[in-house]
Chain A
Amino acid sequence: MSAPYLAFDRVTKTFGDLAVVSPPFDLTIARHEFVVFLGPSGCGKSTLLRMIGGLETPSSGEIRLAGAPVGPPDRRRGMVFQSYSSFPWLTVGGNVLFGMRYRDDLSSGEKRERADRYLKLVGLADFASAYPNRVSGGMRQRIAIARTLAAGSDVLLMDEPFGALDAQRRESLQVELRLIQKTDAKTVVFVTHDVEEAVFLADRIIVFSQRPARIVSEIDVSAIFGMERPLALRDEERFFHARTELLRMVRHTAGVDP
């Protein structure tokens, strides 16, 4: 593993009496790594993600990005939420442009070029002038992704972004996301409770316990599948195998399997 780019250093989080992250949590993530936080619902993995984004602050400990402690939210750490967060009053293109609204370093021409590029990347170029309520749920989620990418964040934080989508759309978005991450060289932290999604997307999977969040195990998926994740990977024997193995492990931590 290369030098730590993103580091959790003895982080804990409590909401009132409720310990969400405890005992102190340590984890390092390399630059351009795709890390998936896998765990049962309500285990505290989303809270960890939100702490990277600056939307929550640790109760103790520190999170560092490129050596410096993270502060309030900013453009370097883009977030994509589970629910559709595209702005209904802006067109699809307007939403993507909004991602660059607070960038003074780009001229309006450059902004338009970038917006076009990311619209194309997520396959929404033909819908640029439509309003979000006219497009499907999957497209709305792609708007949010394109908007965050256009903003030019270094770290992409995704909180079950495909949770509300149907199976086919999920699969195609997963393939797209993996390609975008590699071509655009992003560091991604992706939260999910879907084992198959975790196996398909991740360079490394962090498996969490029930709340309070604790690491149960870490799986180096890239060592098994490499970096390329074509859709056909899903049909391969080794994919089924890895998925089944992981599923068993998750069941065990959730206390479902006897």
Chain B
Amino acid sequence: MSDEAALTPVARSAASPERTVARAVSDPSDFKNLFVLRGRPSRQAEALVALLACILVIALWEAAARLKLTNPIFLPAPSTVAATFWQMATAGDLLYHSGVSTLRVWVAFLLSAVLAIPIGILMSSYRIVGAALEPIVDFIRYLPVPALVPLSIIWFGVGEETKIFLLWLGTFFQLVLLVADDMRRVPHEYVESALTLGARPRQVLSDVAFRAMLPNLVDSLRITLGWCWTYLIIAEIVAAQSGIGFVIWTARRYMKTPEVMAGVIAIGIIGLVTDQIIRAIHRRAFRYL
């Protein structure tokens, strides 16, 4: 305040160097960050690299099979697998079996979700519920599903119930804890703000906490749906007459390796497509993120 000169702005030269023109999208420098630690290459460059890597792996595999470097009974060429897949999908009943499997997965998944969402929310919202359920859930969660197959057959026989039960068992207890975690991560300020705006505890849960956890909840559900497909094979190789697991297991019995692989690919495709659909819904529904 005393020394006026100290705050006098430094004179700047009027002529500033001309800014460089924005570079074109196809600039090769889009790729230059690929090898920089934590660099950010352009999206196109990244997608291109990913595509090239896939093509390279398949090409190597094809070459190995064509040059008879591998025994076709163990590792048939990808072109053979693709042809088998196409034949099974068009002439065979792969689509029917995929439909059966998808139905089982969704029934078990919805059963898990319908139970796990309210229970998980209550576990994080009321200590007493958490204290009562967490040890049980934590214990069952670590039981290996395959080891429970015999028990499941004793309880439910070999029908649909066993398959649904095994899928449910593999996902419900995991999902409960994921939901509880999603609820726990809702900022305390949101809850307290709602309370001081006059919301009753139940309204805080439905109007604020649930809404706040929703994006994470959808992610948790998406991950759980993926697990369902993992357990599906275990459920379907046990005395099943239908489903992709049944297809794979039957093909294995006759050493039809291309058909085994085609079955695996069918699961991969269904999983990938479902996952991408849920991701797209997530992006549209939660634009505010």
**Bound-state Cα–Cα, A28 to B287, Å:** 47
Contact B199 A85 (CB under 8 A): no
**Bound-state Cα–Cα, A77 to B189, Å:** 15
Check: A81 CB closer than 8 A to any chain B CB: yes
Contact A102 B198 (CB under 8 A): yes
Give the most central of B193, B208, B211: most A CB within 10 Å.
Answer: B193
What A residues does B199 contact at CB under 8 A?
101-102
- In the complex, how many angstroms separate the beta carbon of A66 from the nearest chain B beta carbon? 17
Contact B189 A85 (CB under 8 A): yes
Looking at A10-18, A143-151, A194-202, the stretch in contact with chain B turns out to be: A143-151
Check: B218 CB closer than 8 A to any chain A CB: no
Residue of B nearest to A152 (CB): B198
What A residues does B187 contact at CB under 8 A?
83, 85
Contact A89 B197 (CB under 8 A): no
Choice from A74, A85, A133 contacting B198 with Cβ under 8 Å: A74
Choice from B189, B197, B212, B289 contacting A98 with Cβ under 8 Å: B197
What A residues does B212 contact at CB under 8 A?
87-89
Check: B196 CB closer than 8 A to any chain A CB: yes
Q: In the complex, how many residues of chain A place their beta carbon closer than 8 angstroms to a beta carbon of chain B?
A: 30
Choice from B190, B192, B214, B286 contacting A73 with Cβ under 8 Å: B192
**Bound-state Cα–Cα, A132 to B190, Å:** 14
Which residues 90-136 of A have a CB within 8 angstroms of B?
A: 98-99, 101-103, 131-133
**Bound-state Cα–Cα, A98 to B193, Å:** 11
Contact B198 A151 (CB under 8 A): yes
Check: B142 CB closer than 8 A to any chain A CB: no
Contact B196 A75 (CB under 8 A): yes
Contact B193 A85 (CB under 8 A): yes
What B residues does A81 contact at CB under 8 A?
189, 192-193
**Bound-state Cα–Cα, A53 to B189, Å:** 13
Contact B192 A79 (CB under 8 A): yes
Check: A55 CB closer than 8 A to any chain B CB: yes
Check: A78 CB closer than 8 A to any chain B CB: yes
Contact A55 B197 (CB under 8 A): no
Using known A-B contacts A87-B208, A87-B212, A89-B211, determine if residue A73 contacts B203 with beta carbons closer than 8 Å. Answer: no
What A residues does B198 contact at CB under 8 A?
74-75, 101-103, 151
Check: B56 CB closer than 8 A to any chain A CB: no
Using known A-B contacts A98-B197, A144-B193, determine if residue A87 contacts B211 with beta carbons closer than 8 Å. Answer: yes
**Bound-state Cα–Cα, A106 to B203, Å:** 18
Contact B197 A102 (CB under 8 A): yes
What A residues does B192 contact at CB under 8 A?
53, 55, 73, 79, 81, 85
Which residues 7-32 of A have a CB within 8 angstroms of B?
A: none
What B residues does A132 contact at CB under 8 A?
288
What A residues does B200 contact at CB under 8 A?
102
**Bound-state Cα–Cα, A147 to B208, Å:** 14
Choice from A85, A99, A148 contacting B190 with Cβ under 8 Å: A85
Contact B193 A79 (CB under 8 A): yes
Residue of B nearest to A150 (CB): B197
**Bound-state Cα–Cα, A74 to B187, Å:** 19
Residue of A nearest to B1 (CB): A240
- In the complex, how many angstroms separate the beta carbon of B219 from the nearest chain A beta carbon? 15
What A residues does B195 contact at CB under 8 A?
54-55, 72-73
Using known A-B contacts A85-B189, A85-B190, A87-B211, determine if residue A78 contacts B288 with beta carbons closer than 8 Å. Answer: no
**Bound-state Cα–Cα, A72 to B203, Å:** 15
> A57-75 vs B: 1/0 string, CB under 8 Å?
0000000000000001111
Residue of B nearest to A240 (CB): B1
Which residues 142-193 of B have a CB within 8 angstroms of A?
A: 187, 189-190, 192-193
**Bound-state Cα–Cα, A62 to B66, Å:** 86
What B residues does A72 contact at CB under 8 A?
195
What B residues does A101 contact at CB under 8 A?
197-199, 207
Give the most central of A55, A77, A147: most B CB within 10 Å.
Answer: A55
Residue of A nearest to B214 (CB): A89
Contact B196 A78 (CB under 8 A): yes
**Bound-state Cα–Cα, A132 to B207, Å:** 18
Contact B289 A151 (CB under 8 A): no
Interface CB pairs A-B, < 8 A, 7: A78-B197, A79-B193, A81-B193, A83-B187, A101-B207, A102-B198, A133-B288
The 9 closest A-B pairs by CB, nearest first: A75-B198, A102-B198, A85-B189, A73-B195, A79-B196, A131-B288, A85-B193, A81-B189, A73-B196
